Amino acid sequence: MPAINIEDLSEKDKLKMEVEQLRKEAKLKRQPVSKCSEEIKNYIEERSGEDPLVKGIPEDRNPFKEKGGCIIA
């Protein structure tokens, strides 16, 4: 599908596109934020033990660990 330059469309065509988009959005299944946030929280908590940002990286497998020290003379 080629790209459409909105500025080149008539006002009627712009409104038709907007109505089409609104119809698509109206068909989407919606859920309350309270339910979605609870599911996201559970997902994160279940996987937090595997997350290196939470758990940390073992020293022997840390690719960013400094290999040697700096000596100032």
The dihedral through the CA atoms of 9, 14, 16, 20 has a sign that is positive
Q: For position 65, what pLDDT does the model report? A: 80
Kind and range of the H or E element at 12? helix 11-27
What is the tens place of the pLDDT at every residue in 24-66? 999 999 999 999 999 999 999 999 888 888 888 888 888 888 7
Residue 47 · residue 41 · CB < 8 Å:
no
pTM of the model: 0.45
Measured between alpha carbons, how far is residue 30 from residues 22, 67, 73 in Å? 14, 52, 66
